[in-house]
Amino acid sequence: MAANPEMREIERRKLNITEGLILAALVGLATLIFRLNDAVTRLQVAAETTNRQLIALQTQLADVPALSQRVSRNEVKIEALEESQRELRGMRGLK
């Protein structure tokens, strides 16, 4: 009979150790899940920022053809003004 209570004590201690290991594993898993969730959240924020930047770039690039047309028109105007200026200088020389 003396061995029976000792065996129960040993079994109880084994169960306590097993429970402790299971709890430690659960805490480890919870920590891992928390860190993974944090990493996913940071990734989502970075993706949203990148998407906003891409949208801004697309908007800017959409204006490039219009800017090219304006530059071409301004170049034509400058050439015409320079020609007018040359004509005026020539007329002054005739007086």
pLDDT for position 94? 62
pLDDT for position 67? 86
Which of the four pLDDT bands, split at 50, 70 and 90, describes residue 82? very high
Across the range 43-63, mean pLDDT stands at: 93
* DSSP for residue 63: T
3-state DSSP assignment of residue 87: helix
Read off the pTM.
0.50
pLDDT for position 31? 96
pLDDT for position 64? 85
**What is the domain partition of the chain in residue ranges?**
1-62, 63-95
